[in-house]
Each structure stands twice: as C-alpha cells, then as structure tokens.
C-alpha cells in the first residue's frame, strides 16, 4: 500500500485509528464500541476504495453475510406479521443481527491493510478488560471470596467468556511478545506484566463462577499449547512461546489452588442430580434449578423450531414465544445459542451461518500458510472460536451489546485475514 499523503489521507488515517481504537475499548464500556462502529462506518463511506476490491473479488464471506442480512430482513417482516404486538422485540432482534455486519465489515477492511493492526486491537481489548476489572473491583471480594458471583459491570456469563479468551491469548502470545523484545529490561518488564495480567484474569474468572467458561478454558488451553508446540517444532522455530505459555498455565493452576479448590469443586458439582437425570433421559420432571430450567427452555425452543423448521419465527421472536409458555415467560432467552438461532432463523439461516464461519476458518488457515500471520494468532483464533462454541451450549448473549461486541471483534479479525488472503492472491 502506498504511503498516505496530503491532509485528506492523514484525516482518514486518524479516523480509522480512532474508530478501531474505540471498538477495542468496547471491553471497557459498550458506549466506546458504538462510537467506534459509527467512526468505522464513516471511514468506509468516505474511503470506499477499500471495499471495492473485496466486491470485485466476489468474496464468499462478504457475499454470504450480505445474503444473510437480506434473509434476516425478510424474516423480520414475517415476524411482524406473526407477532403484531411485539414490534419493539422484533426491532431489537433485527438490530442485533444487523449490528454485527455493520461493525465487522468496516473494521475488517481496516485491519486487513496491515496485519500488525490486529495486535493493536487485541492490546486495546486487553487494556479494556484490565480497566473494567479495576473500575468494578470490590476489594473485599478479592481478598476473601464468599461465593457471590461477579461480572464486573458486564453480565456474569459473558464476562466469563471474555476472561477465558483473554487468558488463552496471554498463554499463546505472551512468549512471542517476550521473544520479540531485544532489550532485556523491556523483556523482563513485559513478562512481569503478562504474569500479573494472567493472575488478575484467572482470579476474575474464578469470581464469575461460570462453569461454562471454566470448562471451556480447561479443555482448550492445554490443547492449544500442544498445537502451538507442534507447529513450532514442525517449522523448526524457537520454543519461547510454548515454554512461556506452559509456565503461565502452571501459574493459572497455582492460582486456582490458592483460591480454594473446594469452592471450585462445589460449583462444578452443583446440580449434579439434575445433570444425572438429563443424562439418563428423564427430561420431563427436572427440578427448577439453573440446569433444569435451561433444559426445559432448550426442549421448548426445539418444539417451536419444529413448528417452522425451514425459516423459523423471525428475529426477536423468542420473546413472544417464551411469553406464551406457562412458566418460562420470565426467561430472557432459551440460554442456548444454537436452539435460539434455529428457533428464530430456521435451517436456512443456520446454513448461512455455517457457510460463513466455515469459509472464514478455512481462510484463517490459508493466511497462516501464506505467512501473513504467526502460529500464535492462528491457534488463538481457533481456540477462541472453540471456547465460544462450547460456551454457547449453555448461554446466548449476542442479543446484548456486551456479548455482541465479542462476536464483532472475533469475526472482524477473521474477516480481515480473509481479505488479506484475497489481496495476497490478487498481487501474485
């Protein structure tokens, strides 16, 4: 890319950096994310040449996303016809589906111009998380955990997701940062800061008492470090990343031991009778605890999906459908992202999502093969996606801003790698 010259080019640069920076700080406050979305849209509107090559290449990801947006728009009109008294709920549902491409596409175009911008975005996301913990930290809770759950200003379930993903990023990318610093003093300072961040994130994750986040991270972190070690060994590169990552993982384990293993065991084994009943197929007489209610909502969502399997009931329709149930009417959603999508968008909508995500994952691998990204970012993206996929079996949060910005950030990074691969192929 040619160096930017002139006042207009400088203004566009500042506009892009400001929008991306504010989106990165969405972890500190969702208002920053909304303002960043607006600035990135302005950047793309006054700088459309960055989107024109993508359209010229007939990119499958962007095309699928645009078709998905049209499909959701048509379903919104169907939902208004089916539930005329729920216009606000349907409008809210339509917005949370539209907000994701509106924010992700401009950010992805900006990130794809220089892969180093991805690390700038990740750094700001981490700074926002640290700031959120410090701003909402209650010293008594940190000093003596009482079993009360904390979300640090976010919903508890989504903050656990952020923490699990952040810890994974530190485990995988900390070694690369340490090895890249030539000055010994800077390297040691960065290492100390990363260890402090790991300790802070682990303790914050513990205080969420989010079983889905705990289990997802426990499954993904060791496998990710193993995959990173194998990739480094295969390419004959240094082992700073895996070694430091394993050391940080050991630090995480020591932290969990220090914050009372019995508390963790008690939380993991809570509702074990309900879980046993579910595994044995006794679904009808489950107790109304957290797990039992989630199972009832999942079964009810599947029933409603079977009524309209191909197209679903439309965006935002989960609200009127839950209101129609005798005792689930107080629930905000069905607490299962997959059932939620099937119920609102049907099989056709889920096919769009699967095509979009599958293609992006393939392009992430291609970006690594072309040497556009390192092994650390590759493994982290797959690990973050798996954490999200596992977490989504027990929760859904993209209908709210805090969870939606998590999706926007993850998809924007993956889409930027897709665009970078297309630029690379076009330049050959």
One pLDDT digit (tens) per residue for the chain, 428 residues? 444 455 666 888 899 999 999 999 999 999 999 999 999 999 999 888 877 666 666 788 888 888 999 999 999 999 999 888 889 999 999 999 999 999 999 999 999 878 889 999 999 999 999 999 998 877 655 555 556 788 888 989 999 999 999 999 988 887 666 655 566 667 677 778 888 888 889 888 888 888 889 889 989 988 998 888 888 777 765 555 555 556 666 666 665 555 555 666 566 556 665 666 565 666 566 666 667 777 778 888 999 999 999 999 999 998 888 888 777 767 778 889 999 999 999 999 999 999 999 999 999 999 999 889 988 999 999 999 999 999 999 888 888 899 999 999 999 999 999 988 888 777 76
Q: Alpha-carbon distance 177 to 225, whole Å?
A: 16
Query: How many CB atoms are closer than 10 A to CB 203?
Result: 20
In the chain, what is the straight-line distance between the N-terminal and C-terminal CA atoms, in Å? 15
Name the percent of the chain in helix, strand, coil, to the closest 5: 80, 0, 20
Cβ neighbors of 283 (< 8 A, separation 6 or more) are 277, 295, 299
Question: Is residue 60 assigned to a domain?
Answer: yes
Residue 304 within any structural domain of the chain: no
Alpha carbon distance 417, 362 (integer Å): 10
Q: Could you say which DSSP state residue 87 is in? A: H
In a domain, 296, yes or no: no
Q: Say if residue 81 is exposed, middle or buried (CB neighbours under 10 Å; 0-12, 13-18, 19+).
A: exposed
Residue 346 belongs to some domain of the structure: yes
Sign of the four-CA dihedral 14, 20, 26, 31: positive
Query: Distance between CA 210 and CA 156 in Å, rounded?
Result: 7
Count up the domains in the chain and report the number.
1
* 185 domain-assigned: yes
- pLDDT score at 259: 55
Report helix, strand or coil for 334: coil
Angle at 170 between CA 262 and CA 356, to 5 degrees: 105
User: Locate tokens 């972190």: which residue?
Assistant: 221
Q: Kindly list the distances between the CA atom of residue 281 and the CA atoms of 94, 232, 304, in Å, as whole numbers in the listed order.
A: 36, 45, 20
Please indicate, yes or no, if residue 294 is contained in any of the structural domains.
Answer: no
Determine, yes or no, domain membership for 289: no
pLDDT score, position 91:
93
Where helices occur in 4-86 by DSSP H, the ranges are 6-24, 30-46, 52-56, 60-82
- Residue 144 tokens, joined: 């003596």
d(CA 252, CA 218): 10
User: Range of 349's domain?
Assistant: 15-270+332-427
Give residue 220's pLDDT.
Answer: 93
Whether residue 295 is contained in a domain is answered as no
Round to whole Å and give the CA distance between 13 and 15: 5
User: What pLDDT, on a 0 to 100 scale, did the predictor assign at position 1?
Assistant: 41
């Amino acid at each position: 890319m040619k160096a930017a010259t002139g006042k207009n080019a400088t203004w566009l640069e500042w506009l892009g950096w400001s929008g991306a920076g504010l989106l990165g700080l969405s972890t500190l406050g969702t208002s920053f994310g909304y303002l960043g979305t607006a600035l990135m849209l302005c950047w793309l509107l006054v700088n459309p040449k960055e989107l024109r090559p993508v359209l010229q290449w007939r990119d499958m990801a962007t095309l699928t996303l645009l078709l998905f947006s049209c499909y959701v728009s048509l379903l919104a009109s169907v939902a208004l016809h089916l539930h005329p008294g729920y216009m606000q709920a349907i409008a809210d549902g339509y917005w949370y589906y539209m907000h994701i491409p509106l924010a992700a596409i401009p950010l992805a175009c900006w990130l794809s111009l220089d892969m180093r911008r991805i690390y700038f975005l990740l750094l700001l996301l981490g700074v926002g998380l640290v700031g959120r913990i410090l701003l909402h930290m209650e010293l008594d809770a940190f000093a003596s955990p009482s079993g009360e759950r904390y979300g640090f200003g976010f919903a508890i379930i989504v903050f656990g997701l952020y923490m699990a993903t952040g810890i994974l990023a530190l485990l995988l990318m900390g070694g690369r940062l340490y090895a890249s610093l030539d000055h010994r003093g800077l390297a040691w300072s960065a290492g100390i800061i990363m260890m402090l961040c790991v300790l802070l994130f682990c303790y914050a994750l513990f205080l969420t008492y989010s079983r889905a986040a705990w289990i997802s991270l426990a499954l993904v972190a060791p496998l990710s470090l193993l995959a990173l070690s194998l990739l480094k060994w295969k390419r004959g590169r240094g082992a700073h990343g895996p070694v430091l990552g394993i050391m940080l993982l050991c630090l995480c384990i020591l932290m969990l031991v220090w914050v009372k293993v019995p508390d963790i065991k008690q939380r993991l084994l809570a509702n074990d009778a309900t879980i046993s009943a579910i595994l044995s197929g006794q679904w009808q007489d489950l107790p109304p605890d957290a797990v039992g209610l989630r199972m009832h909502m999942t079964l009810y969502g599947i029933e409603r999906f079977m009524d309209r399997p191909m197209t679903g009931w439309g965006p935002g329709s989960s609200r009127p459908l839950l209101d129609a149930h005798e005792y689930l009417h107080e629930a905000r959603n069905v607490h299962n992202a997959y059932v939620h999508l099937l119920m609102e968008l049907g099989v056709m909508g889920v096919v769009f999502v699967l095509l979009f995500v599958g293609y992006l994952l393939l392009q992430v691998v291609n970006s690594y093969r072309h040497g556009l990204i390192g092994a650390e970012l590759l493994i982290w993206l797959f690990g973050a996606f798996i954490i999200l996929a596992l977490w989504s079996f027990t929760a859904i949060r993209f209908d709210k801003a805090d969870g939606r910005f998590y999706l926007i950030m993850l998809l924007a990074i993956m889409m930027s790698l897709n665009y970078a691969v297309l630029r690379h192929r076009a330049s050959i």
